[in-house]
Amino acid sequence: MSEYKEMWREMGIDLEAHDSLLRVLGSAYKDIYLRQQNRPKGMEYFDFVVRELHGFRVKELMEAREQGRKVIGTFCVFVPEELVIAVNAIAVGLCAGADIASDAAEQYVPRNTCSLIKSAFGFKLAKVCPYIEATDLIVGENTCDGKKKAFEQYKDVVDDLYVMDLPQMKSEVGRHLLKAEYKRFARKLEEITGNKITTESLNRGIKIVNAKRKAINRLDSLRAASLLPISGLDSLLTNQVFFYDDPERFTASVNAICDELEERIANKEGVCPENTPRIIVSGCPMAVPNWKLPHVIETSGAIIVGEEMCTGVRGTRNNVNEDASTLEEMFDSITDRYFKIDCAVFTPNTDRLNHVKEMVKEYKADGVIHYGLQFCQPYAHEAMNMERLLEAEDIPVLSVETDYSQEDLGQLKTRVEAFVERLQD
């Protein structure tokens, strides 16, 4: 990675702190991912992406900026990449998955703030996230109350923050609000890029992003096989890279893996024995490099067959209707697609609970682990509802609440192992 040091220096990255971060990330990836047995060969591409996470892709972004394109940084699946592509800009997910500079972050947000929000501040304040420094616009969103208030402070630490308002109820009023916000966002994108959104450019954006989602959906469907052709860790990684990589390159890479997985299924080749307990993980998103819980699960005698998370099927399971012929119809189609996302900020949110039940059946899961970040109120509330709903259906469920540190690793492993033993009885 030494060939990128001058680029990082020019971006204002703290090279010493950044080197330390990359060493830790590389070591964790080796221990968690590269020691897996019988991985699909197609995962080599994603190993490359992680190895070059702050290098090759960032260099691509900087070169695109030199050519006049804009880079839009995002934190949330409610930000439509279709609109970003329609103005010939690039959408990229921002760093928020590690315990970085918490003390500095707590100068801006309370101590009892979830790790994801603290991490967004920490990466910026520690000057170790080149994606943040490569952006021309960072898009925040009023999902949970924690984010809503945190973005009031985040504008003081980044150069150009745009906050999108989101509805909190699945109502006709809420849908109108979301459509109005997407139109407002479109105007902002046109303003900063100088490019107008046309029916042709938006149609192209819709088709590119739909193709990404279809590839991930194809991969997810293959995990319903009795003999699992891919680990939950590797599936999660593809979902995480979804937010970073060039969209068309990503789509081709995922489809290549799916071709390989279909051959594995036909040849009865799996990553674990057929009787391995099958787990659905549901709850808060897991940004790179938040691999703690999946690693614990898959080293405790179980396998993850599905993720009901924003870094999972919640963020990818619906597509935008491609039949619209006018801009107004296209905005309606985009709004309809994103309004189906069953984030825990919505009230009521029965669709999410019902979807988890459907996933248990579809993926032939033996149980559900609900993952919540400490101090995340929306998912903490829904964890209680989910426990009641699933247990009433005789579906075993375990709720865990954790953060980005490794301090509770032993306790977490003990609880997961006990849950897996319950599934095996």
**What confidence tier does 168 reach under pLDDT thresholds 50, 70, 90?**
very high
CA distances from 46 to 77, 253, 400 (A): 21, 9, 28
Number of domains in the chain: 1
Instruction: State the pLDDT at residue 105.
Output: 97
The answer to whether residue 68 sits within a structural domain is: yes
Task: Domain of residue 39: give its range.
Answer: 2-199
Taking 80 as the threshold, does the pLDDT of residue 1 lie above it?
no
Taking 90 as the threshold, does the pLDDT of residue 392 lie above it?
yes
| Average confidence (pLDDT) over 192-202 | 98
Q: What is the pLDDT of residues 73-95, one digit of tens each?
A: 999 999 999 999 999 999 999 98
**What confidence tier does 2 reach under pLDDT thresholds 50, 70, 90?**
confident
The answer to whether residue 414 sits within a structural domain is: no
Instruction: State the pLDDT at residue 130.
Output: 97
Taking 90 as the threshold, does the pLDDT of residue 147 lie above it?
yes
Share of the chain above pLDDT 90, in %: 99
| Average confidence (pLDDT) over 364-393 | 96
Token code pair at residue 287 = 């940004």
The answer to whether residue 167 sits within a structural domain is: yes
Mean pLDDT in the chain?
Answer: 97
Instruction: State the pLDDT at residue 368.
Output: 98
Reference 77, options 308, 327, 234; nearest CA is 308
Q: What is the pLDDT of residues 280-306, one digit of tens each?
A: 999 999 999 999 999 999 999 999 999
Token code pair at residue 403 = 């953060």
Reference 280, options 351, 405, 386; nearest CA is 386
CA distances from 321 to 131, 187, 200, 203, 348 (A): 31, 22, 15, 10, 26
| Average confidence (pLDDT) over 327-349 | 97
36 neighbors 101 (Cβ within 8 angstroms): no
Amino acid at 321: N
The answer to whether residue 87 sits within a structural domain is: yes
Spatial separation of the C-alpha atoms in residues 77 and 316, rounded to whole Å? 9
The answer to whether residue 294 sits within a structural domain is: no
DSSP for 368-405 reads EEEEEETT-HHHHHHHHHHHHHHHHTT--EEEEEE-SS
**What confidence tier does 27 reach under pLDDT thresholds 50, 70, 90?**
very high
**What confidence tier does 425 reach under pLDDT thresholds 50, 70, 90?**
confident
Sign of the Cα pseudo-torsion (104, 105, 108, 114, in order): negative
CA distances from 121 to 102, 325, 352 (A): 8, 41, 29
Backbone phi, then psi, for 147, in 5-degree steps?
-65, -45
Token code pair at residue 134 = 């490569």
Beta bridge partners of 281: 307, 369
The answer to whether residue 343 sits within a structural domain is: no
- pTM exceeds 0.85: yes
Give the E-state strand segments of 21-81 in sequence order. 71-74
Token code pair at residue 120 = 């967004």
398 neighbors 302 (Cβ within 8 angstroms): no
What is the domain-level CATH number for residue 189? Answer: 3.40.50.11890
Chain mean position to CA 267: 31
The answer to whether residue 195 sits within a structural domain is: yes
The answer to whether residue 53 sits within a structural domain is: yes
Spatial separation of the C-alpha atoms in residues 382 and 342, rounded to whole Å? 12
